[in-house]
Chains A and B, each alone.
Chain A
Amino acid sequence: MDQIRNFCIIAHIDHGKSTLADRIIQACGAVSDRDFRDQILDSMDIERERGITIKSNTITLDYEARDGRKYRLNLIDTPGHVDFSHEVRRSLMSCEGALVVVDAAQGVEAQTVANLYIALEYNLEMIPVINKIDLPAADPERVREEIDADLGLDPFTAVLCSAKKGIGIDDVLEAIVRLPAPRGDPEAPLRALIFDAHYDPYRGVILYCRIMEGRVHTRQKVHFMYTDAEYQVEELGFVRLKPEKREQLEAGDVGYIVCGIKTIRDIHIGDTMTWAEKGASAPLPGYKEAKPVVFSSLYPMSRDDYEDLARALEKLAINDAALTYEKDTSAALGFGFRCGFLGLLHLDVVQERLSREFDQSLLLTAPSVLYKLTLNDGSELDVDNPSYFPDPSTIREIREPYIRAAIIIPEEFLGQVMELCREHRADETVFGYLSVGRIEVKSELPLGEVLFDYYDKLKNVTRGYGSFDYEIIDYRPSDIVKVDILVNREKVDALAQLVHRDKARPRALRYCERLAESIPRQQFKIPIQGAIGGTIIARSTINAFRKDVTAKCYGGDITRKRKLLEKQKAGKKKMKTVGSVDIPQEAFLAVLRNDADKKK
């Protein structure tokens, strides 16, 4: 156990986490240079492209240190976004130490700080790594100061490297060796932390776990303490580039376990596995269920694709336990699914995977949070879908989720960012200097406000220098109304949304204007209205076209006229009919696309 090191890498997106992981793997000879594929841990294309890691992977490496001893290094990859912080937690719990990567030019960012706080909760030993020292703009000394001031870490333990150029990788490895070895009594009853899982079509669910105490061997019966389920271990071993079968895993080890679990929904990430007989008396602390906080309905572009979408979601959910979905229907859009996501990034990732891996074009309704309602009769109701919003006269109180946002910005943008928070109904905004010229703004604001153009605006006002992170803190009373959009006096259910009363009019107007721009003119004038109940709060109009009839239908040449029908038929396929008005898909896209900012 002395020669095992379990560690992870904490970094802001783009600070070079994946590249550093690649170099470490390469330096340990786990993969020959010829086979080397950049960013090996990011196994999905989408992660490669976005530069983020969605599913944590893990890998076991062998390293012969300068002290002449051989170490077994378990690198546990962590996702780098706030939406996935529950995954970060599980990963961090499996480690004794962490490399905290900071970009030598960019310095410390909000996300690094957020993850660092979580890491501190688990008493992880941290090594600052200043990456990208080869960049012309690199300023390691300034970054050292930030490490001291913002992160509270000892700047003199910092390792300088350039993962891209392969500079300083040995120093990083030696620093890893200096991390504490795992502790935990191998003779105690088994307690293993399940920190990740994925579905394999041939083997069922593959679990990734860290053995905290005790031992587990093949053919042993095991018990999952949270789900209270029992299985028999079929196979276990170390995770190398190819799985390495073993007979047993023991305290300190990180490895995989196959035990006949059929679907990912049968297990809970973060659960504690123990023996079925004479098992541990209490599970490991810190389990937290991942709960969706952002909801949106997904509809296939073409009604015929519903079955395909259902299959695609099912397949996706096999490896994404945090994704929830249930059938939803819309008069305008037909059958679809109401989905729950961990956050906007998660939503975006799911959408992109569906479109990329399953070739699905989707319409997404405006993202919503979960509102908690108390009705006049005292009953409680949770609503995340405008379709189920009750008659306002029956509601006594509505509460909406609030977040604490941490925004780090250069100080010149303070005024605009404070204003931005105010505009987004922040309850309380405070700020403090992190270091000279750098400010952290902490703001308590409704999660629902962040779903609508907040990131875009933040990026704009800070010219891209602002970084953002958030955690949900509580639910607070709020004046939420349901805004309906009516096209030719018919409600378009898919465009309804729940919004704060103060925001209702501008939001409705924006929808009306965008629809008016993107619905083609028809033979009659079409009013587009936004309404709260029976009160119209916004309006725009699509004027009728006045003439389209061909002047001459002469000499009996009808073939040209029939092209009109063919065009009409082709056009219809791309339209959704509401009442008697055809709304092109582009109109829905134009209205719905920008609601969820997905560029974070």
Chain B
Amino acid sequence: MEGAGLYLHCPFCSFVCPYCDFAVRRLGDRDLGGFVATILREAELRADWPEAIDSIYLGGGTPSLLPPAELERLLGGLRARLPIVPGAVLHLEANPEDVDDEALGAWRDLGVRFLSLGVQSLDDRALRFLGRRHDARGARQAIARAVAAGFEVVSVDLIFGLPDQDRARWLADIEAATPPGVDHLSCYQLTVKPGTLFSRRVELGRLAEIGDEEQGRFFAFTHEVLEARGFEAYEVSNFARRPDARSRHNRKYWRQVPYLGLGPAAHSFTGRERFWNEAEEGAWTAAIQADRLPEAGRERLEDLDLAQEALLLGLRCPEGVDLARLESRWSFRPSARALARLETFVTAGLLEHEGTRIKPSRRGLAVADSIAADLAC
């Protein structure tokens, strides 16, 4: 049986990107040892987590800022406090500027099997626009070194849909990001989030998001190009060159497998309940130091909620959703209106039926949110 996931949020970056709305802050001269100690204390408070954990994901933020010694202490401490199975997959997010042979060696020795590089682009102009600290050359070197270091999976994160990014430049990014040995790719479309520097720029009229038509074209182009290069889109934004290169951890989110989140703003899911931590590092730390769970909220999901989530999450993946399962598990049946809508989606080539399963086509994936919302209500 599939185990649960463990997500750990490291809320520090050496520099906060202007498009990022995650719970992050500048590291400054902060002592990461203190952060690790607090995380371990939180893990103690969560020692009653019932499910065996078979994947650990170190995300952020920039977890690659953690010195190898702190990382070792962190992982050892987590294993001592939580039911982590021996063969658990360890994912690590790393920024290219933190990637050198020494760090790579240390990470591999610590058991990192899946390394995600926050490259975002391999075009200097785009990197400057995105406010990244590395340049294209550095990114290429980081990719090459990571591949050479012999991780099970090396993954690259890219962002597309930048202003005045044409297809040629985007194609060049994809090509540079996927040399042999890079078997996983996450391609996120640039989204301007409220409260970010980019959203301020939009307000001031200095930045314009591309329209949905253009977004749709970029989305389709991305999927076509990657398919031609041997990548399978196993989720809206995630591509794997071989089935065992898929992210075991991230798939848990889309398939409603339980996961525990540690660190500021981390979310957890038990299969029936969701709870989430204080987003501010200070509030999170204070709660834990006072021996309190650092939860900011918690909710219980009814059968209907779970079924609706299953649609929202399941339609992000090409295997789609089995309606029979929704009915047997949560007594959920789409409304008459939703069924009529479903047939229209099938006719329009957005969904396809496979027995009781509905599967989004590539065009369907691009509008999966509204399709799911239509079918869920």
Binding site for B on A (CB under 8 A): 488, 522-525, 544-559, 561-562, 564-565, 567-569, 572, 577, 579-581
Whether A552 lies near B188 (C-beta < 8 A) is: yes
Is B248 part of the contact surface with A, judged by Cβ < 8 Å? no
Q: Which residues of B contact A546 (CB under 8 A)?
A: 212-213, 215-217, 219, 363, 366-367
Known A545-B367, A548-B369, A559-B276: A568·B343 in contact at CB below 8 Å: no
Stretch at the interface among B42-50, B199-207, B307-315: B307-315
Measured between alpha carbons, how far is A552 from B259 in the docked complex, in Å?
Answer: 17
Known A561-B312, A580-B344: A549·B236 in contact at CB below 8 Å: yes
Q: Which of B352-377 contact A (CB under 8 A)?
A: 363-374, 376-377
Q: Which residues of B contact A577 (CB under 8 A)?
A: 337, 340
20 A-B residue pairings within 8 Å (CB atoms): A523-B345, A523-B370, A523-B374, A524-B350, A544-B348, A545-B213, A547-B366, A548-B367, A549-B369, A550-B191, A553-B316, A554-B253, A555-B261, A556-B259, A557-B267, A558-B309, A559-B276, A564-B373, A579-B340, A581-B344
| The one of B219, B268, B340, B348 that contacts A523, using a Cβ cutoff of 8 Å | B348
Is B7 part of the contact surface with A, judged by Cβ < 8 Å? yes
Known: A553-B316, A558-B269. 7 other contacts (CB 8 A): A522-B370, A523-B345, A548-B212, A551-B191, A564-B369, A567-B373, A579-B344
Rounded to whole Å, the gap between the CB of A549 and the closest CB of chain B is: 4
| The one of B7, B261, B309, B367 that contacts A549, using a Cβ cutoff of 8 Å | B367
Known A559-B267, A580-B340: A549·B374 in contact at CB below 8 Å: no
Is B254 part of the contact surface with A, judged by Cβ < 8 Å? yes
Whether B267 lies near A558 (C-beta < 8 A) is: yes
Whether B266 lies near A555 (C-beta < 8 A) is: yes
Measured between alpha carbons, how far is A581 from B345 in the docked complex, in Å?
Answer: 11
Is B341 part of the contact surface with A, judged by Cβ < 8 Å? yes
Measured between alpha carbons, how far is A352 from B76 in the docked complex, in Å?
Answer: 74
Measured between alpha carbons, how far is A555 from B8 in the docked complex, in Å?
Answer: 9
Is B178 part of the contact surface with A, judged by Cβ < 8 Å? no
The interface bits of chain B over 323-341 (1 if a CB of A lies within 8 angstroms of the residue's CB, else 0) are: 0000000000000010011
Whether B269 lies near A556 (C-beta < 8 A) is: yes
Whether A565 lies near B253 (C-beta < 8 A) is: no
The interface bits of chain B over 177-192 (1 if a CB of A lies within 8 angstroms of the residue's CB, else 0) are: 0000000000011110
Whether B261 lies near A556 (C-beta < 8 A) is: yes
Q: Which of B198-229 contact A (CB under 8 A)?
A: 212-213, 215-217, 219
Q: Which residues of A contact B367 (CB under 8 A)?
A: 523, 545-549
Rounded to whole Å, the gap between the CB of A121 and the closest CB of chain B is: 58
Measured between alpha carbons, how far is A558 from B299 in the docked complex, in Å?
Answer: 12
Q: Which residues of B contact A564 (CB under 8 A)?
A: 312, 369, 372-373
Q: Closest A-chain residue to B213, C-beta based?
A: A546
| The one of B216, B250, B266, B373 that contacts A547, using a Cβ cutoff of 8 Å | B216
Whether B309 lies near A562 (C-beta < 8 A) is: yes
The interface bits of chain B over 10-22 (1 if a CB of A lies within 8 angstroms of the residue's CB, else 0) are: 0000000000001
Binding site for A on B (CB under 8 A): 5, 7, 9, 22, 59, 188-191, 212-213, 215-217, 219, 236-237, 250, 253-254, 259, 261, 265-269, 274, 276, 299, 305, 308-309, 312-313, 316, 337, 340-341, 343-345, 347-348, 350, 363-374, 376-377
Rounded to whole Å, the gap between the CB of A582 and the closest CB of chain B is: 8
Measured between alpha carbons, how far is A552 from B188 in the docked complex, in Å?
Answer: 7
Whether B7 lies near A555 (C-beta < 8 A) is: yes
Measured between alpha carbons, how far is A545 from B369 in the docked complex, in Å?
Answer: 12
Whether B7 lies near A556 (C-beta < 8 A) is: yes
| The one of A522, A523, A524, A557 that contacts B276, using a Cβ cutoff of 8 Å | A557
Measured between alpha carbons, how far is A513 from B368 in the docked complex, in Å?
Answer: 28
Q: Which residues of B contact A562 (CB under 8 A)?
A: 305, 308-309, 312
Measured between alpha carbons, how far is A525 from B259 in the docked complex, in Å?
Answer: 39
Whether B337 lies near A580 (C-beta < 8 A) is: yes
Q: Closest A-chain residue to B266, C-beta based?
A: A555
Whether B267 lies near A555 (C-beta < 8 A) is: yes
Rounded to whole Å, the gap between the CB of B168 and the closest CB of chain A is: 21
Known A523-B370, A552-B188, A580-B344: A547·B215 in contact at CB below 8 Å: yes
Q: Which residues of B contact A523 (CB under 8 A)?
A: 345, 348, 350, 364, 367, 370-371, 374
Q: Closest B-chain residue to A546, C-beta based?
A: B216
Measured between alpha carbons, how far is A166 from B316 in the docked complex, in Å?
Answer: 77
Q: Which residues of B contact A554 (CB under 8 A)?
A: 59, 250, 253
Q: Which residues of A contact B250 (CB under 8 A)?
A: 554
Whether B274 lies near A558 (C-beta < 8 A) is: yes
Whether A547 lies near B267 (C-beta < 8 A) is: no
Rounded to whole Å, the gap between the CB of A547 and the closest CB of chain B is: 4
Rounded to whole Å, the gap between the CB of A559 and the closest CB of chain B is: 7
Q: Which residues of B contact A553 (CB under 8 A)?
A: 236, 253-254, 313, 316
Measured between alpha carbons, how far is A68 from B301 in the docked complex, in Å?
Answer: 88
Whether A488 lies near B344 (C-beta < 8 A) is: yes
Most B CB atoms within 10 A — which of A488, A551, A554, A572? A551
Q: Which residues of B contact A525 (CB under 8 A)?
A: 348
Q: Which residues of A contact B267 (CB under 8 A)?
A: 555-559
Measured between alpha carbons, how far is A558 from B253 in the docked complex, in Å?
Answer: 9
Whether B377 lies near A551 (C-beta < 8 A) is: no
Whether A580 lies near B341 (C-beta < 8 A) is: yes
Q: Which residues of A contact B374 (CB under 8 A)?
A: 523, 568
| The one of A524, A551, A557, A559 that contacts B188, using a Cβ cutoff of 8 Å | A551
Measured between alpha carbons, how far is A512 from B268 in the docked complex, in Å?
Answer: 49
Most B CB atoms within 10 A — which of A488, A522, A567, A580? A580
Q: Which residues of A contact B377 (CB under 8 A)?
A: 565, 568-569, 572
Whether A552 lies near B253 (C-beta < 8 A) is: no
Whether A548 lies near B376 (C-beta < 8 A) is: no
Measured between alpha carbons, how far is A550 from B367 in the docked complex, in Å?
Answer: 9
Rounded to whole Å, the gap between the CB of B315 and the closest CB of chain A is: 9
Measured between alpha carbons, how far is A545 from B267 in the docked complex, in Å?
Answer: 31
Whether B59 lies near A555 (C-beta < 8 A) is: yes
Q: Which residues of A contact B345 (CB under 8 A)?
A: 523-524
Q: Which residues of B contact A565 (CB under 8 A)?
A: 308, 312, 373, 376-377
Whether A549 lies near B344 (C-beta < 8 A) is: no
Q: Closest A-chain residue to B249, C-beta based?
A: A556
Q: Which residues of B contact A569 (CB under 8 A)?
A: 377
Q: Which residues of A contact B213 (CB under 8 A)?
A: 545-546
Rounded to whole Å, the gap between the CB of A52 and the closest CB of chain B is: 44
Whether B313 lies near A558 (C-beta < 8 A) is: yes
Q: Closest B-chain residue to A575, C-beta based?
A: B337
Whether A580 lies near B343 (C-beta < 8 A) is: yes
Measured between alpha carbons, how far is A552 from B193 in the docked complex, in Å?
Answer: 12
Rounded to whole Å, the gap between the CB of A566 and the closest CB of chain B is: 9
Q: Closest A-chain residue to B344, C-beta based?
A: A580
Rounded to whole Å, the gap between the CB of B321 and the closest CB of chain A is: 15
Q: Closest B-chain residue to A561, C-beta based?
A: B312
Measured between alpha carbons, how far is A293 from B199 in the docked complex, in Å?
Answer: 57
Rounded to whole Å, the gap between the CB of B345 and the closest CB of chain A is: 7
Whether A552 lies near B237 (C-beta < 8 A) is: yes
Q: Which residues of A contact B7 (CB under 8 A)?
A: 555-556
Q: Closest B-chain residue to A524, C-beta based?
A: B348
Q: Which residues of B contact A580 (CB under 8 A)?
A: 337, 340-341, 343-344
Whether A550 lies near B274 (C-beta < 8 A) is: no
Rounded to whole Å, the gap between the CB of B160 and the closest CB of chain A is: 9
Rounded to whole Å, the gap between the CB of B112 and the closest CB of chain A is: 18
Q: Which residues of B contact A579 (CB under 8 A)?
A: 340, 344
Whether A556 lies near B212 (C-beta < 8 A) is: no
Measured between alpha carbons, how far is A558 from B213 in the docked complex, in Å?
Answer: 26
Q: Closest A-chain residue to B374, C-beta based?
A: A568
Rounded to whole Å, the gap between the CB of B324 and the closest CB of chain A is: 21
Q: Closest B-chain residue to A558, C-beta based?
A: B309
Measured between alpha carbons, how far is A555 from B308 in the docked complex, in Å?
Answer: 19
Whether B268 lies near A556 (C-beta < 8 A) is: yes
Most A CB atoms within 10 A — which of B9, B190, B212? B212
Whether B366 lies near A549 (C-beta < 8 A) is: yes
Whether B212 lies near A547 (C-beta < 8 A) is: yes
Rounded to whole Å, the gap between the CB of B13 and the closest CB of chain A is: 15
Measured between alpha carbons, how far is A562 from B266 in the docked complex, in Å?
Answer: 17
Most A CB atoms within 10 A — which of B9, B305, B337? B337
